[in-house]
C-alpha cells in the first residue's frame, strides 16, 4: 500500500514538474520571439526612411528625365532611365521587406518567422546587388556621338574600358552578394549598419529558440 502511494506521489510530482518545465519553455520561447521582433524595429525604421527618400528621389529623377528627353543625347537619357528603373525596383523591394517585417511581427509560429526572416535576409542582400548593376551608367551618360567621331581613340581606349570595368564590377557584386559570403571582409564592409545588424540580431534570437526547443 505504501509503495503504491509512493508511486502515485512520484507520478504527481513528475506531472507537476513536466507542466512546470513546459510552462517555463513556453515563457522563454515567447520572450525570445518578442526579442526577435523588437530587434527588427531599427531595420524597419531604416527601411521606412529609405522608402520615403527613394520615392521622393525617384519622382525628382523622373521629372528631370521627362523634361530632359527632348534636349539630351540618347546616352544621357538611357543612363538616367536605367538609373531610375533600378531605383524604382529597389524601392519596391524595400516595400516588400517592410511587408515581411510586418508578417514576422504578427506571427507567433517559429517556423513561419524563420522562413520570413530568410526571405528578408535574401531580399536585403538582393536589393544591394541590384543597385550595383547601375555602375556602368556613371560612365555612359557623358558619351557623345560627335566625340566618338572626332576622337575615337579616347573612346575606345579610355571610356569603353572604364565602362566594361564598371560593368564587370557591378555584375560581380550582384552575383557575389549572398549569405555564403557574409564572413568575408568586403561583405562586412558593405553590410555593417543598423539595417543589417538588426536583421542578424533578430535571426540569432530565432536560432536560439530553435536550439532551445531541441533540448
Q: What is the pLDDT of residue 36?
A: 65
The DSSP element (H or E) to which 29 belongs, if any, is: helix 2-39
Q: How far is CA 120 from the centre of its chain?
A: 6
Q: Which of 61-75, 82-96, 154-168 has the highest mean pLDDT?
A: 82-96
Q: Could you report the per-residue pLDDT of 144-158, keeping only the tens digit for each?
A: 877 778 888 888 888
Average pLDDT estimate for 35-62: 87
Name the residue with higher pLDDT: 159 or 91: 91
The Cα 4–Cα 119 span in angstroms is 56
Q: What percent of the chain has pLDDT over 90?
A: 29
Count CB-CB contacts under 10 A for residue 19: 10
Checking if the pLDDT of 136 tops 80, the result is: yes
C-alpha to C-alpha distances, 140 to 70, 97, 159, 161, 214, nearest whole angstrom: 18, 31, 8, 11, 55
Q: Could you report the per-residue pLDDT of 15-48, keeping only the tens digit for each?
A: 554 554 444 455 545 556 666 677 778 888 888 9
C-alpha to C-alpha distances, 25 to 22, 33, 196, nearest whole angstrom: 5, 12, 29
Amino acid at each position: 500500500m505504501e509503495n503504491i502511494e509512493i508511486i502515485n506521489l512520484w507520478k504527481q510530482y513528475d506531472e507537476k514538474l513536466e507542466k512546470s518545465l513546459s510552462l517555463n519553455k513556453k515563457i522563454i520561447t515567447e520572450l525570445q520571439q518578442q526579442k526577435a521582433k523588437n530587434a527588427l524595429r531599427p531595420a524597419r525604421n531604416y527601411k521606412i526612411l529609405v522608402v520615403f527618400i527613394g520615392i521622393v528621389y525617384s519622382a525628382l529623377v523622373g521629372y528631370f528625365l521627362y523634361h530632359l528627353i527632348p534636349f539630351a543625347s540618347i546616352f544621357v537619357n538611357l543612363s538616367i532611365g536605367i538609373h531610375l528603373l533600378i531605383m524604382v525596383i529597389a524601392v519596391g523591394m524595400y516595400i516588400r521587406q517592410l511587408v515581411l517585417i510586418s508578417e514576422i511581427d504578427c506571427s507567433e509560429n517559429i517556423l513561419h518567422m524563420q522562413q520570413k526572416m530568410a526571405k528578408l535576409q535574401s531580399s536585403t542582400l538582393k536589393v544591394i546587388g541590384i543597385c550595383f548593376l547601375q555602375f556602368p551608367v556613371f560612365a555612359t551618360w557623358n558619351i557623345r556621338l560627335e566625340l566618338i567621331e572626332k576622337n575615337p581613340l579616347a573612346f575606345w581606349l579610355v571610356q569603353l574600358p572604364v565602362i566594361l570595368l564598371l560593368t564587370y564590377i557591378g555584375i560581380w557584386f550582384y552575383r557575389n552578394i549572398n549569405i555564403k559570403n557574409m564572413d568575408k571582409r568586403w561583405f562586412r564592409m558593405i553590410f555593417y549598419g543598423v539595417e543589417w545588424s538588426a536583421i542578424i540580431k533578430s535571426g540569432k534570437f530565432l536560432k536560439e529558440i530553435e536550439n532551445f526547443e531541441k533540448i
